[in-house]
Structure 1
Amino acid sequence: MTTVANFGGTSQYVDLDGPVHWVDFGGPEDGPRVVLVHGLGGSHLNWALLAPLLAKKARVVAVDLAGHGLTMPEGRKTTVQANTGLLGRFIKQVVGEPVILVGNSMGGLISLFHTAYNPDVVTGLVLVDPALPMVLGTRPDPTMLSTFFLYSVPGLGERFLAKSKTAPARRQVERVLELVCADPGVIPEELKQASEHLIGERAKVDGLDAAFLAAARSVVFTTSKRGAYFAAMGKIRVPVFLMSGDRDRLVNVAAARYVARKHPHWRYDEYAGIGHVPQMEIPEVVSERVLAWMDANRLSTSAS
């Protein structure tokens, strides 16, 4: 596939109990290894704007988790736990050395749990609006709440997804951007077109709705287990950079602020007027700050 050709990435596949799609964005061989991990319903395209900027100083790859992007389920589970295991195998078999994990949304959740329980293969962790437990007393976005309620109910979730896919691919892309971006107008046209193309490719494959719903329900379940989630955070010993857009409709910024207060040694940046995907809305700002954080924590050279 060449869905990322215009963004400087090369599509690859590796067999991890079935084909796993990943994208090599290149970068200096002596730079640190960075693995980008997308969110629920996302793909390698979520990193297409940020990855080339990071690749100026790091060797950057993005992986499509099972059931997402161009990694079809192939009989594999798509839960948070299963994709955490898949990420670990990808790091071991494809990268082959310790990495800096950069995860957005569900990908942040997965990256955090992988870091907590596999400290020997992660040198740094960047959490970009990660899925987090809700803070008591905050009011979730009504659209987000109703959407995840539908996802969680057997039967309703299936019908809701089927109905949403009757819209043209372009409208499906626009709906997602309206949910995750504070200003969808900043997303380049070529990225929207690449997303449309990906929807077309995925429409040829059966079983993806079930895979998505299993992942969505797993995210809801995992974030509801506050004790286990915060225990995992407490195990992390590598440098952490947490960031959040203050207009994130999916993960209320109050949750990020709460985590930042609990972990004052983590770096925390908050972006005014930005939604759930800062790496797509303000890639230049995110890349500048991540690379500076890497330098400050001496992560700017390869661990090899």
Structure 2
Amino acid sequence: MEVFSIDGAQIHALDVGPRQAQLAILIHGWSSSSFAMSPLIPLLSRRFRCIAIDLPGYGESPPLRERATIGRYAQLVGRLITGLSEHPAVLIGHSMGGMISTTLALQVPQLVDRMVLICPTISGRLSFWINTFVSPITMMERFPFFSRLLSLLEPSMLSVTDSLMKPASFAERSAISEADYLRLRADARRPGQGRVRAECFVAMRRQDLSGRLRELETPALVIWGAEDNTVPLRDAGVVADEWRNADLRIVPKAGHWPHFETPEVTMRYIASYLGLPSLISQPDALVQPAEVTTQITEFLVNSQLGSGLSLAQRTRLAAHLERRRYPPQALVDRINQESTDLYLVQEGTLEVWSPPIDGDPTSQRLLMTVVAGQITGEMSLLDGGRRSADLRAGEEGVTLLALRRERLRALAEDDPALGNAVLWNIASALALRLRLANWQQQGLVRELQALKR
């Protein structure tokens, strides 16, 4: 593991992925360690430099000299980001790590590009089960005598630990493996962490974010297990009411650990949100810098494709658009060419030329010029047919955002609301083009009628 020294704190972390890629900081929850984020690393490290940290006092990281608070943890994460990159990072937080991520986004929004939060603590009020059966033990651990006593008794009380931990953490039909459960249990009862566990339990209660989520501009994907008995679903209601840029997903057959219990569903949501392949083994050519995705997100506001979409929706769609640049008069697509790509013009112009007559290229005519914000190629995207015209870059070249048919399909499956909105926008643009064509044909008819008189 890497060790980062920040303000006197020694933070141990896994450092995986391309060194020059955008940072993704993975932040575990209460009574846990960086292992809690391990299922996500193989997927995320394809595009991001993943830093999965052990918060001070947890895992291999020594505790802070001062009392642990959510604000202090958020400050340390912010310093880690500025020390490793000049660009904002993606934050991936589980449970208390979600509260830390959200707190940082409120404190210094410039440091946070996007967030993926899994069962995040929002109000700090944990479930009845936790407050009734777990918190008394946690409060006792504040005192060295009781902490040592509980550590000595722990090996002979594993059945008690299981009876407390399993109902609070996992769904009735949870698919978590025995090996993963044993490792999570070992982290939850790691000796010597009684004080920091107690401090963090109090810190979460004091860091109630209810009423503050309206201030957030940072987009986020929020995933919640339908049977979470640690951070109850009432906190998901706060997210739904207050956070307009949050994309909230409830996962069946999952408790507090969806990425361990229902990994396929959870990975698919995250992959779709961040524009990654759903399966780790899939090849994927679309791995573009994070700043490009951010620029595309902003551009979509006034485009035919992104009309009416929320920031969270535009962020997700932008991750699936591939930027392509063509010099002046370059051939983009040829007539009869097989293609299922839709093109959105970002800069410059794209010219649509008629088919040549008897193979004579001089007989081609300019049919239409597609300008910034407009789309073309929607018919091939929808029906998979061949191109019906030549597409060429305009006199100043063109920058296109390409949406592949398979990506739109995957997006529609993972996010039906967004897929529906995108298809509606495509249909609206097509309807506008047909209305224009009808108007032009009516004009030609009137001219012909005038000539006959």
Q: Alpha-carbon deviation of 1:144?
A: 1.1
Q: Alpha-carbon deviation of 1:284?
A: 2.8
Moved more, 271-280 or 254-263: 254-263
Q: Alpha-carbon deviation of 1:183?
A: 4.9
* Aligned-partner SS, 1:120: helix
Please, which of 41, 44, 48 is the counterpart of residue 51 of structure 1?
41
Alignment-derived partner of residue 222 in structure 1: 207
Alignment-derived partner of residue 239 in structure 2: 259
What is the rounded CA distance, in whole Å, between the counterparts of 1:156 and 1:83 in structure 2? 21
Alignment of 1:121-200 (within 5 A): 121-133=111-123, 141-147=127-133, 149-150=135-136, 155=140, 158=143, 162=148, 164-165=150-151, 166-168=153-155, 171=158, 174=162, 176-183=165-172, 186-192=175-181, 194-195=183-184
Residue by residue over 1:30-55, the C-alpha shift from the partner in whole angstroms, topping out at 9 and shown as x without a partner, is 65321111111111010111221222
Counterparts in 2 of 1:193 and 1:286: CA distance versus 1, 3 Å = same
Residue by residue over 1:188-218, the C-alpha shift from the partner in whole angstroms, topping out at 9 and shown as x without a partner, is 3443565577689x53xx5x32222111111
* 8 Å Cα contact 2:214-2:242 kept in structure 1: no
**Gap runs ≥5 in structure 1:** 1-10, 224-228
Q: Alpha-carbon deviation of 1:104?
A: 1.1
Q: Which amino acid aligns with 2:9?
A: G
What is the rounded CA distance, in whole Å, between the counterparts of 1:199 and 1:144 in structure 2? 13
Structure with more relative contact order (C-alpha pairs < 8 Å, separation 6 or more): 1
What is the rounded CA distance, in whole Å, between the counterparts of 1:151 and 1:124 in structure 2? 36
Counterparts in 2 of 1:115 and 1:106: CA distance versus 1, 3 Å = same
Residue by residue over 1:36-94, the C-alpha shift from the partner in whole angstroms, topping out at 9 and shown as x without a partner, is 11111111010111221222333222111111111111524321121111111111223
Alignment-derived partner of residue 102 in structure 2: 112
Counterparts in 2 of 1:209 and 1:190: CA distance versus 1, 3 Å = same
What is the rounded CA distance, in whole Å, between the counterparts of 1:85 and 1:128 in structure 2? 20
Q: How many residues align?
A: 278
Q: Which amino acid aligns with 1:211?
A: V
2:291 equivalent to 1:303 = yes
Q: Alpha-carbon deviation of 1:300?
A: 6.0
* 8 Å Cα contact 1:242-1:260 kept in structure 2: no
Alignment-derived partner of residue 211 in structure 1: 196
Counterparts in 2 of 1:187 and 1:295: CA distance versus 1, 3 Å = same
Q: Alpha-carbon deviation of 1:156?
A: 7.4
Question: What percentage of residue pairs aligned between the two structures are identical?
Answer: 21
Counterparts in 2 of 1:30 and 1:43: CA distance versus 1, 3 Å = same
* Aligned-partner SS, 1:293: helix
Counterparts in 2 of 1:300 and 1:164: CA distance versus 1, 3 Å = farther
What is the rounded CA distance, in whole Å, between the counterparts of 1:141 and 1:119 in structure 2? 29
Q: Alpha-carbon deviation of 1:113?
A: 0.8
* 8 Å Cα contact 2:98-2:118 kept in structure 1: yes
Q: Alpha-carbon deviation of 1:24?
A: 1.5
**Gap runs ≥5 in structure 2:** 277-285, 293-453
Counterparts in 2 of 1:64 and 1:95: CA distance versus 1, 3 Å = farther
What is the rounded CA distance, in whole Å, between the counterparts of 1:23 and 1:167 in structure 2? 28
Residue by residue over 1:216-247, the C-alpha shift from the partner in whole angstroms, topping out at 9 and shown as x without a partner, is 11111222xxxxx2453222212111121111
* Aligned-partner SS, 1:275: coil
* Aligned-partner SS, 2:154: coil
Q: Alpha-carbon deviation of 1:110?
A: 0.8
Counterparts in 2 of 1:252 and 1:191: CA distance versus 1, 3 Å = closer
* Aligned-partner SS, 1:89: helix
What is the rounded CA distance, in whole Å, between the counterparts of 2:10 and 2:67 in structure 1? 14
* 8 Å Cα contact 1:14-1:21 kept in structure 2: yes
Q: Which amino acid aligns with 2:202?
A: R
2:30 equivalent to 1:40 = yes
2:69 equivalent to 1:79 = yes
* 8 Å Cα contact 2:94-2:118 kept in structure 1: yes
TM-score using structure 2 length:
0.54
* Aligned-partner SS, 2:78: helix
2:73 equivalent to 1:88 = no
TM-score using structure 1 length:
0.78
* 8 Å Cα contact 1:43-1:69 kept in structure 2: yes
Moved more, 49-58 or 60-69: 49-58
Counterparts in 2 of 1:219 and 1:148: CA distance versus 1, 3 Å = farther
